[in-house]
Amino acid sequence: MGLDLLSDVADLTAAIVDIESVSGAEGPLADAVEEALRALPHLTVERHGHNVVARTDLGRAERVVLAGHLDTVPLNGNLPSRVEGDRLYGCGTTDMKSGVAVALRLAATLTEPVRDITYVFYECEEIEAERNGLRRLAATRPELLAGDFAVLMEPTGALIEGGCQGTMRAEVTAAGERAHSARAWMGSNAIHAAGRILDVLRAYEPARPVVDGLEYHEGLNAVFISGGVAGNVIPDECVVTVNYRFAPDKSPADAEAYLREIFRGFAVKITDSASAARPGLTHPAAAAFVAASGAGVRAKLGWTDVARFAELGIPAVNYGPGEPTLAHTRDEYVEIPLIAECERRMRTWLGGPVNVAS
């Protein structure tokens, strides 16, 4: 069944939600999106894997990118979608098929936008970074993502969330010496020594830096702990895996240096890292978006693909109708009035006057 991009945006959201698209199985939804977009003569459309890119080419002074991922986390008894009052329930309603529906509605109805628009619908955002469709497009076809400013339609509760935090995982290792547990004094218990790592974490006070006018809230937490050899052996190693969420005033190198300093005396191995992104709200297109939308602005407390746009030199924000605290939950839902509100605000911005001199 095809998608009717001219239907009410809430109905379109429900239709998209009801096409199952767990990460790695986005094919049917990508097919439906591609078919619907290819029927629009004002767009040029390309398909790469399960990534669909559609573009206007009107020679406007600015080009903006609207991006949204097609995949969801695994189902949890939450399909098909259902409506209760002003809420649409179902897997992906908030993260982020309601945002995808807004972008598809704009793609179908904005035939003469005042800014050229690139619409990017991509796969595998919810799983390992190596499979992320936006990442692959940035590596293989960066020209398709070129623009002056980008909006990632992630769930933000219809607020504009600037930039994003970086994330880093590290294994902090306490060392000991093995011995028979009946003669424990002949060894050194690494699990006991790891208590000092936990003391550092308990004493941690989150930094709350202000970056480009937005306040971020950092976090440092243990997420895994492993140690032990056997029930009668004093362990010689205990590893605490920590996750550091850092503000965009730090680079990954800064974040690593900070972790090595606070865990001085322990072996620290960085196992995963992703850069933060500054808000980028000083760019003229971003300022115009904030002004035209009338939406509130806050910092993004988490990592999103805006960081990928930042790496391409494109300022980006997060903006979508979904409620971020409901993402990945069984009872995930989106407030139907917010879907229409996001569409209206985006339409005001993309269909309003452009101050080229700015």
- Annotated catalytic residues are 71, 125
Q: What is the DSSP string of 228-295?
A: -S-TTEE-SEEEEEEEEEE-TTS-HHHHHHHHHHHTTTSEEEEEEEE--B---TTSHHHHHHHHHH--
Q: Are 72 and 23 in contact (CB under 8 A)?
A: yes
User: Which of 118, 182, 128, 104 lies closest to 149 in space, CA to CA?
Assistant: 118
Alpha-helical (H) ranges within the chain are 9-17, 27-38, 98-109, 133-140, 190-193, 195-203, 252-262, 284-293, 306-311, 336-351
Residue 191 to residues 92, 109, 183, 197, 238: CA-CA distances in angstroms? Answer: 41, 61, 16, 10, 5
**What letter would DSSP give residue 319?**
-
| Number of separate helices (H) and strands (E) present in the chain | 10, 19
